[in-house]
A and B are shown apart, each in its own frame.
Chain A
Protein backbone atom coordinates (compact mmCIF):
# COMPACT_ATOMS: atom_id res chain seq x y z
CA UNK A 1 0.00 0.00 0.00
CA UNK A 2 2.66 2.46 1.07
CA UNK A 3 4.70 2.21 -2.16
CA UNK A 4 1.53 2.81 -4.19
CA UNK A 5 0.72 5.99 -2.27
CA UNK A 6 4.28 7.16 -2.59
CA UNK A 7 4.18 6.49 -6.31
CA UNK A 8 0.87 8.36 -6.73
CA UNK A 9 2.15 11.35 -4.77
CA UNK A 10 5.24 11.51 -6.91
CA UNK A 11 3.15 11.34 -10.09
CA UNK A 12 0.83 14.09 -8.85
CA UNK A 13 3.73 16.34 -7.94
CA UNK A 14 5.25 15.81 -11.34
CA UNK A 15 1.99 16.76 -13.07
CA UNK A 16 1.69 19.92 -10.95
CA UNK A 17 5.27 20.88 -11.62
CA UNK A 18 5.04 20.51 -15.39
CA UNK A 19 1.80 22.48 -15.46
CA UNK A 20 3.30 25.33 -13.48
CA UNK A 21 6.20 25.50 -15.90
CA UNK A 22 3.89 25.51 -18.91
CA UNK A 23 1.65 28.21 -17.48
CA UNK A 24 3.75 30.95 -16.15
CA UNK A 25 7.42 30.93 -16.95
CA UNK A 26 8.60 33.16 -19.72
CA UNK A 27 12.26 32.92 -20.47
CA UNK A 28 13.91 36.15 -21.39
CA UNK A 29 17.57 36.72 -22.01
CA UNK A 30 19.02 40.06 -21.08
CA UNK A 31 22.39 41.38 -22.15
CA UNK A 32 23.03 43.11 -18.85
CA UNK A 33 21.66 42.92 -15.28
CA UNK A 34 20.71 46.59 -15.62
CA UNK A 35 18.41 45.75 -18.49
CA UNK A 36 16.84 42.95 -16.48
CA UNK A 37 16.22 45.42 -13.67
CA UNK A 38 14.66 47.94 -16.08
CA UNK A 39 12.42 45.22 -17.51
CA UNK A 40 11.24 44.33 -14.03
CA UNK A 41 10.60 47.95 -13.07
CA UNK A 42 8.76 48.77 -16.28
CA UNK A 43 6.50 45.72 -16.27
CA UNK A 44 5.87 46.27 -12.56
CA UNK A 45 4.79 49.88 -13.06
CA UNK A 46 2.19 49.30 -15.77
CA UNK A 47 -1.33 48.23 -15.07
CA UNK A 48 -3.00 45.51 -17.12
CA UNK A 49 -5.73 47.23 -19.21
CA UNK A 50 -8.06 44.27 -18.88
CA UNK A 51 -7.78 43.18 -15.28
CA UNK A 52 -8.14 46.51 -13.45
CA UNK A 53 -5.61 46.08 -10.72
CA UNK A 54 -2.79 43.81 -11.66
CA UNK A 55 0.55 44.91 -13.00
CA UNK A 56 1.37 43.42 -16.38
CA UNK A 57 4.15 41.33 -14.83
CA UNK A 58 1.59 39.78 -12.51
CA UNK A 59 -1.21 39.05 -14.93
CA UNK A 60 -2.10 36.08 -17.12
CA UNK A 61 -4.29 38.12 -19.48
CA UNK A 62 -3.20 37.75 -23.12
CA UNK A 63 -2.84 41.51 -23.48
CA UNK A 64 -0.40 41.60 -20.55
CA UNK A 65 1.71 38.98 -22.30
CA UNK A 66 1.69 41.10 -25.45
CA UNK A 67 2.71 44.17 -23.46
CA UNK A 68 5.57 42.31 -21.76
CA UNK A 69 6.75 41.13 -25.18
CA UNK A 70 6.64 44.68 -26.46
CA UNK A 71 8.52 46.09 -23.46
CA UNK A 72 11.18 43.43 -23.95
CA UNK A 73 11.40 44.14 -27.67
CA UNK A 74 11.74 47.90 -27.16
CA UNK A 75 14.40 47.36 -24.48
CA UNK A 76 16.40 45.19 -26.88
CA UNK A 77 15.89 47.95 -29.41
CA UNK A 78 17.75 50.34 -27.12
CA UNK A 79 14.86 52.63 -26.26
CA UNK A 80 14.85 54.61 -23.02
CA UNK A 81 12.36 54.03 -20.22
CA UNK A 82 10.52 57.24 -21.11
CA UNK A 83 10.24 56.21 -24.74
CA UNK A 84 8.87 52.82 -23.76
CA UNK A 85 6.36 54.34 -21.38
CA UNK A 86 5.23 56.82 -24.06
CA UNK A 87 4.90 53.97 -26.55
CA UNK A 88 2.49 52.19 -24.21
CA UNK A 89 0.54 55.28 -23.13
CA UNK A 90 0.04 56.24 -26.79
CA UNK A 91 -1.84 53.01 -27.28
CA UNK A 92 -3.50 52.20 -23.98
CA UNK A 93 -3.79 55.60 -22.33
CA UNK A 94 -2.64 57.10 -19.03
CA UNK A 95 -4.74 54.47 -17.32
CA UNK A 96 -1.92 51.94 -17.47
CA UNK A 97 0.47 54.03 -15.38
CA UNK A 98 0.43 53.27 -11.67
CA UNK A 99 2.26 56.57 -11.18
CA UNK A 100 0.37 59.18 -13.22
CA UNK A 101 2.65 61.72 -14.86
CA UNK A 102 2.68 65.29 -13.56
CA UNK A 103 0.63 67.40 -16.00
CA UNK A 104 -2.37 69.74 -16.06
CA UNK A 105 -4.84 66.99 -15.38
CA UNK A 106 -2.91 65.56 -12.44
CA UNK A 107 -1.69 68.65 -10.56
CA UNK A 108 -4.59 68.30 -8.14
CA UNK A 109 -3.90 64.61 -7.61
CA UNK A 110 -0.24 65.15 -6.76
CA UNK A 111 -0.86 68.50 -5.05
CA UNK A 112 -3.50 67.54 -2.48
CA UNK A 113 -1.26 65.39 -0.24
CA UNK A 114 1.39 68.11 -0.23
CA UNK A 115 -1.19 70.81 0.52
CA UNK A 116 -2.64 68.72 3.38
CA UNK A 117 0.83 68.20 4.82
CA UNK A 118 1.53 71.94 4.76
CA UNK A 119 -1.89 72.73 6.25
CA UNK A 120 -1.23 70.23 9.05
CA UNK A 121 2.16 71.72 9.80
CA UNK A 122 0.65 75.20 9.90
CA UNK A 123 -2.05 74.01 12.29
CA UNK A 124 0.54 72.49 14.64
CA UNK A 125 2.55 75.72 14.66
CA UNK A 126 -0.56 77.78 15.43
CA UNK A 127 -1.68 75.48 18.25
CA UNK A 128 1.77 75.38 19.84
CA UNK A 129 2.00 79.16 19.74
CA UNK A 130 -1.44 79.65 21.23
CA UNK A 131 -0.63 77.26 24.09
CA UNK A 132 2.71 78.86 24.81
CA UNK A 133 1.29 82.38 25.14
CA UNK A 134 -1.67 81.12 27.15
CA UNK A 135 0.46 79.28 29.70
CA UNK A 136 3.05 81.96 30.34
CA UNK A 137 1.41 85.36 30.29
CA UNK A 138 -2.21 84.99 31.19
CA UNK A 139 -1.97 84.97 35.01
CA UNK A 140 -1.75 88.22 36.91
CA UNK A 141 0.42 88.45 40.07
CA UNK A 142 -2.65 88.16 42.26
CA UNK A 143 -3.89 85.04 40.46
CA UNK A 144 -0.49 83.45 40.69
CA UNK A 145 -0.40 84.00 44.46
CA UNK A 146 -3.80 82.35 44.78
CA UNK A 147 -2.72 79.40 42.66
CA UNK A 148 0.40 78.92 44.75
CA UNK A 149 -1.69 79.02 47.93
CA UNK A 150 -4.04 76.33 46.53
CA UNK A 151 -1.21 74.08 45.47
CA UNK A 152 0.54 74.40 48.84
CA UNK A 153 -2.67 73.64 50.72
CA UNK A 154 -3.09 70.42 48.78
CA UNK A 155 0.46 69.34 49.41
CA UNK A 156 0.35 69.71 53.19
CA UNK A 157 -2.61 67.70 54.41
Chain B
Protein backbone atom coordinates (compact mmCIF):
# COMPACT_ATOMS: atom_id res chain seq x y z
CA UNK B 1 0.00 0.00 0.00
CA UNK B 2 2.74 2.40 0.95
CA UNK B 3 4.59 1.62 -2.28
CA UNK B 4 1.47 2.36 -4.27
CA UNK B 5 1.21 5.81 -2.74
CA UNK B 6 4.81 6.46 -3.74
CA UNK B 7 3.76 6.02 -7.37
CA UNK B 8 1.66 9.16 -7.07
CA UNK B 9 4.70 11.31 -6.31
CA UNK B 10 5.39 12.30 -9.95
CA UNK B 11 1.74 13.24 -10.42
CA UNK B 12 1.79 15.39 -7.31
CA UNK B 13 5.01 17.05 -8.40
CA UNK B 14 3.53 17.70 -11.83
CA UNK B 15 0.35 19.24 -10.42
CA UNK B 16 2.36 21.44 -8.08
CA UNK B 17 4.54 22.74 -10.90
CA UNK B 18 1.54 23.20 -13.20
CA UNK B 19 -0.25 25.27 -10.55
CA UNK B 20 2.86 27.38 -9.97
CA UNK B 21 3.39 28.06 -13.68
CA UNK B 22 -0.29 28.81 -14.20
CA UNK B 23 -0.18 31.34 -11.38
CA UNK B 24 2.87 33.02 -12.92
CA UNK B 25 1.19 33.16 -16.33
CA UNK B 26 -1.22 35.78 -15.03
CA UNK B 27 1.58 38.12 -14.02
CA UNK B 28 3.16 40.94 -15.97
CA UNK B 29 6.61 39.66 -16.98
CA UNK B 30 7.97 43.17 -17.46
CA UNK B 31 7.12 44.19 -13.89
CA UNK B 32 10.05 44.48 -11.51
CA UNK B 33 11.08 46.52 -8.53
CA UNK B 34 13.08 49.62 -9.22
CA UNK B 35 16.69 49.51 -8.06
CA UNK B 36 16.39 53.02 -6.63
CA UNK B 37 13.64 52.63 -4.05
CA UNK B 38 14.72 53.92 -0.61
CA UNK B 39 17.86 55.46 -2.09
CA UNK B 40 18.73 59.12 -2.35
CA UNK B 41 17.94 60.84 -5.61
CA UNK B 42 21.19 60.67 -7.66
CA UNK B 43 23.43 63.71 -7.54
CA UNK B 44 23.28 65.93 -10.59
CA UNK B 45 24.20 69.44 -11.60
CA UNK B 46 22.71 70.77 -14.78
CA UNK B 47 20.89 73.75 -16.25
CA UNK B 48 17.15 74.17 -16.35
CA UNK B 49 15.09 73.97 -19.51
CA UNK B 50 14.01 77.60 -19.29
CA UNK B 51 17.31 79.16 -18.36
CA UNK B 52 20.65 77.81 -19.64
CA UNK B 53 22.42 79.94 -17.02
CA UNK B 54 20.57 78.61 -13.99
CA UNK B 55 22.15 75.51 -12.48
CA UNK B 56 20.17 73.16 -10.26
CA UNK B 57 21.22 70.13 -8.25
CA UNK B 58 19.61 67.44 -6.11
CA UNK B 59 18.86 69.92 -3.29
CA UNK B 60 16.05 71.13 -5.57
CA UNK B 61 14.05 68.11 -4.44
CA UNK B 62 14.35 68.57 -0.69
CA UNK B 63 11.74 70.05 1.61
CA UNK B 64 8.58 68.73 0.01
CA UNK B 65 7.22 65.53 -1.52
CA UNK B 66 7.83 65.88 -5.25
CA UNK B 67 6.89 63.92 -8.34
CA UNK B 68 9.75 63.84 -10.82
CA UNK B 69 8.51 63.04 -14.31
CA UNK B 70 10.96 62.04 -17.05
CA UNK B 71 9.65 63.13 -20.45
CA UNK B 72 10.67 64.13 -23.95
CA UNK B 73 9.04 65.71 -26.96
CA UNK B 74 9.78 62.54 -28.99
CA UNK B 75 7.75 60.36 -26.63
CA UNK B 76 4.14 59.78 -27.71
CA UNK B 77 2.98 58.37 -24.36
CA UNK B 78 4.18 61.59 -22.67
CA UNK B 79 1.56 63.51 -24.64
CA UNK B 80 -1.20 61.20 -23.46
CA UNK B 81 0.10 61.43 -19.94
CA UNK B 82 0.03 65.22 -19.75
CA UNK B 83 -3.64 65.62 -18.69
CA UNK B 84 -2.95 63.31 -15.73
CA UNK B 85 0.12 65.34 -14.74
CA UNK B 86 -1.91 68.58 -14.94
CA UNK B 87 -4.54 66.91 -12.75
CA UNK B 88 -1.88 65.96 -10.19
CA UNK B 89 -0.60 69.54 -10.17
CA UNK B 90 -4.19 70.76 -9.60
CA UNK B 91 -4.31 68.52 -6.53
CA UNK B 92 -1.43 70.51 -5.10
CA UNK B 93 1.39 68.07 -5.75
CA UNK B 94 4.76 69.57 -6.58
CA UNK B 95 5.90 68.48 -10.05
CA UNK B 96 9.43 68.65 -11.40
CA UNK B 97 10.24 67.53 -14.94
CA UNK B 98 13.34 65.93 -16.37
CA UNK B 99 13.49 66.82 -20.04
CA UNK B 100 15.21 63.68 -21.31
CA UNK B 101 17.21 63.48 -24.57
CA UNK B 102 15.52 66.47 -26.09
CA UNK B 103 16.30 69.95 -27.40
CA UNK B 104 15.15 73.16 -25.74
CA UNK B 105 13.16 74.24 -28.80
CA UNK B 106 11.24 71.03 -29.15
CA UNK B 107 10.64 70.80 -25.42
CA UNK B 108 9.18 74.31 -25.31
CA UNK B 109 6.94 73.56 -28.28
CA UNK B 110 5.71 70.49 -26.43
CA UNK B 111 4.92 72.40 -23.24
CA UNK B 112 3.16 75.15 -25.20
CA UNK B 113 0.96 72.61 -26.91
CA UNK B 114 0.20 70.13 -24.15
CA UNK B 115 0.47 72.22 -20.98
CA UNK B 116 3.13 72.69 -18.33
CA UNK B 117 2.49 71.21 -14.87
CA UNK B 118 6.15 71.54 -13.85
CA UNK B 119 7.56 73.97 -11.32
CA UNK B 120 10.88 73.57 -13.08
CA UNK B 121 12.36 71.30 -15.73
CA UNK B 122 15.82 69.75 -15.38
CA UNK B 123 17.45 69.77 -18.82
CA UNK B 124 19.08 66.40 -19.57
CA UNK B 125 19.90 66.34 -23.30
CA UNK B 126 22.50 63.56 -23.09
CA UNK B 127 20.42 61.40 -20.78
CA UNK B 128 23.07 61.36 -18.02
CA UNK B 129 20.64 61.94 -15.17
CA UNK B 130 18.22 59.53 -16.84
CA UNK B 131 20.94 56.87 -16.84
CA UNK B 132 21.63 57.37 -13.12
CA UNK B 133 17.90 57.03 -12.51
CA UNK B 134 17.82 53.76 -14.44
CA UNK B 135 15.37 55.22 -16.94
CA UNK B 136 14.95 52.89 -19.91
CA UNK B 137 12.03 54.53 -21.64
CA UNK B 138 9.98 57.64 -21.09
CA UNK B 139 7.68 58.44 -19.43
CA UNK B 140 8.81 57.37 -16.00
CA UNK B 141 7.86 59.02 -12.72
CA UNK B 142 9.66 59.04 -9.39
CA UNK B 143 8.18 60.03 -6.06
CA UNK B 144 10.80 61.78 -3.94
CA UNK B 145 10.08 62.47 -0.28
CA UNK B 146 10.93 65.65 1.64
CA UNK B 147 14.41 64.29 2.46
CA UNK B 148 15.24 63.68 -1.19
CA UNK B 149 14.80 59.89 -0.99
CA UNK B 150 13.10 58.01 -3.83
CA UNK B 151 10.00 56.23 -2.50
CA UNK B 152 8.09 55.08 -5.54
CA UNK B 153 8.87 54.52 -9.21
CA UNK B 154 6.20 54.38 -11.89
CA UNK B 155 7.55 53.00 -15.17
CA UNK B 156 5.54 53.98 -18.18
CA UNK B 157 2.44 55.99 -18.70
CA UNK B 158 0.29 57.16 -15.77
CA UNK B 159 -3.26 56.23 -16.80
CA UNK B 160 -6.22 58.37 -15.63
CA UNK B 161 -7.22 55.70 -13.08
CA UNK B 162 -3.64 55.51 -11.76
CA UNK B 163 -3.90 59.10 -10.53
CA UNK B 164 -6.53 58.28 -7.94
CA UNK B 165 -5.67 54.63 -7.28
CA UNK B 166 -1.88 54.74 -7.18
CA UNK B 167 -0.17 58.11 -7.34
CA UNK B 168 -2.27 60.18 -4.91
CA UNK B 169 -2.25 57.46 -2.18
CA UNK B 170 1.54 57.13 -2.54
CA UNK B 171 2.00 60.89 -2.22
CA UNK B 172 -0.27 60.99 0.85
CA UNK B 173 1.66 58.12 2.40
CA UNK B 174 4.98 59.97 2.24
CA UNK B 175 3.65 63.40 3.14
CA UNK B 176 3.09 62.40 6.81
Using CB atoms and an 8 Å cutoff, list the residues of chain A in contact with chain B.
49-50, 52, 61-63, 66, 70, 89-95
Contacts and interface: CB of A to CB of B under 8 A. Distances in A.
Interface of B: 29-30, 32-36, 101, 127, 131-137
A63 B35 contact: no
Contacts of A95: 32
Nearest to B131: A66
Contacts of B137: 50, 63
Nearest to B34: A93
Interface-centre pick from A90, A91, A93, A94 (highest chain B CB count, 10 A): A91
Contacts of A66: 127, 131
Given A66-B131, A70-B131, A93 B136 contact: no
Contact of B134 (A52, A61, A62, A91): A91
A92 B35 contact: yes
Given A63-B137, A66-B127, A93 B33 contact: yes
A50 B35 contact: no
Given A62-B101, A91-B132, A95-B32, 17 more contacts: A49-B136, A50-B136, A52-B29, A63-B135, A63-B136, A63-B137, A66-B127, A66-B131, A70-B131, A89-B35, A91-B131, A91-B133, A92-B35, A93-B32, A93-B33, A93-B34, A93-B134
A66 to B, nearest CB: 6
Interface-centre pick from B29, B30, B32, B35 (highest chain A CB count, 10 A): B35
4 closest Cβ pairs, A-B complex: A93-B35, A49-B136, A91-B134, A63-B136
Nearest to A61: B136
B127 A91 contact: no
A66 B35 CA distance: 18
A61 B33 CA distance: 21
A92 B136 contact: yes
Contacts of B35: 89-94
Contacts of B29: 52
A85 B105 CA distance: 36
A120 to B, nearest CB: 13
A63 B137 CA distance: 8
B128 to A, nearest CB: 9
B115 to A, nearest CB: 26
Contacts of B34: 93
A90 B101 CA distance: 21
Contacts of B36: 91
Given A91-B35, A93-B35, A52 B133 contact: no
Contacts of B101: 62
